[in-house]
Structure 1
């Protein structure tokens, strides 16, 4: 039986991974680490309320468990907030990874870490795992720093890079692009969406499954996880409207330049999924197919 700690177990990916692993309790012993009360809606795992940026406490709690795997989903992901609060961003996105690596070297744990398309500058799109990073934002830089900590360590690690994750959590406290577009259109509100940024959104259930595959295969190295087709964010919003049968005439295209966002965004990301297909034997679908699957889970 593998002992697995999920940091950020209250988050979107954390909850999805909990639900997936707890389907096979004979195979996995699951521990959730997150701030505040357990918000997953489940009590059939061991939960620890913890601030993972507290190095001493984090080490103490992990050493009690001595996990085989640590899936690090805890992160500061608000791009503009990271730009404005660089110290806070580094504390969660970089320093926590340093601590996890130090502990893992001691107890021989395998770390599965989540990274982002924002480590790239967006000049070309369809990035391979081996392409040279060049982050435009502090968020992207912080995630690149965390990757470097892992790649220069001697531990077993898996880095899963992902893009624009969507899905649902038990307590529905956090929004994502799909919920936001759906909610605004249901209220017949006009929304403006950039048409000059391109992404390949990721269904959280697929991201959770890729974490589980990485555990089962003991896969090491870096892998891209996303849907399989590059779309403009405007096209993403239109497809959401189509799948949920909402009025897409309320969606108005705008350019990035008109937004005045604090942190710059890469224009065109997206991933080459060849390595993921081959080594993880994982074959992501199109965003529209993922949306239809997601729709089936909603009341």
Structure 2
């Protein structure tokens, strides 16, 4: 099976290349904007530069490669940036998805698209796949619009919705709540962390596995692919302190309203993952296990 990944330089893209290159019957085509930033240790893959915002480029690459499956991990995911740079957000999160739909339709490629819990307003989470979306940010609106483009199309598609992805990029280019809490407290900083927003945080390796399970079966429809623990950022910080034996008194529990953020955040999302468990055999790590995995990865890099 030939699988083409967009956004391969990103955190999820890196984990997907690493996972899929280990499968004996998979040929991995990694694509991204500019040069490959993937490590040699990612495994066996072919990298092709591709700007998904360029329709001609997308048609050319997918037309030449003829992948059985395309996994679209590329997106503008910064919620506040999406609010202030709406034209760029729409171009990357919606228009580019239409380019992929068009190119996949010509090759009969199965398109797996990544989406988010931010398509919901957070009033009655956790959500299952049948819940009615109601985004409260421009980012959420753009991701919902992309979902609707897929649902109206004539191609074979799947949507993997996820929540608060965390993990270690090979070049340590991205932080996450675990590293942020650990590093901040070790540096003697005091932190204010919210306890009125709930999520089911998702280990990047688990999300990559969920995508592979969908791609392998070419299972059509919407799947919630997230972690299984419903936690607030404060809960996550406390668990991080417990694991690394850090001083919890450095953390103050606060209400999210004290932070001035450009875009609104849904208060309580999180996902019910029963469908993914039943249909795909998906089983994510606990958040505690995720901390241990990240610790092991950090240790290997030192």
1:126 deviation in Å?
Answer: 1.2
Change (3 A) 1:87 1:213: same
Q: Deviations over 1:39-92 (max 9, x none)?
A: 111273111223221111121111110110110000100000000000000111
Q: Deviations over 1:243-281 (max 9, x none)?
A: 222222211122111111100000000111111111111
* Residues 197-208 of structure 1 mapped to structure 2, 5 A cutoff: 197-208=197-208
Matching residue of 2:22: 23
* Residues 15-54 of structure 1 mapped to structure 2, 5 A cutoff: 15-24=14-23, 26-42=24-40, 44-54=44-54
Identify the range of structure 1 (242-251 vs 91-100) with the bigger mean alpha-carbon deviation: 242-251
Preserved contact between residue 200 and residue 230 of structure 1 (Cα < 8 Å): yes
Separation in structure 2 between the aligned mates of residue 106 and residue 50 of structure 1, nearest angstrom: 18
Separation in structure 2 between the aligned mates of residue 124 and residue 285 of structure 1, nearest angstrom: 24
1:298 deviation in Å?
Answer: 2.4
Preserved contact between residue 52 and residue 99 of structure 2 (Cα < 8 Å): no
* Residues 1-299 of structure 1 mapped to structure 2, 5 A cutoff: 2-24=1-23, 26-42=24-40, 44-299=44-299
Unaligned runs of 5+ in 2: none
Q: For residue 283 of structure 2, give the secondary structure of its aligned residue in structure 1.
A: coil
Compute the TM-score of the two structures, normalised by the length of structure 1.
0.96
Separation in structure 2 between the aligned mates of residue 211 and residue 226 of structure 1, nearest angstrom: 11
Separation in structure 2 between the aligned mates of residue 252 and residue 266 of structure 1, nearest angstrom: 21
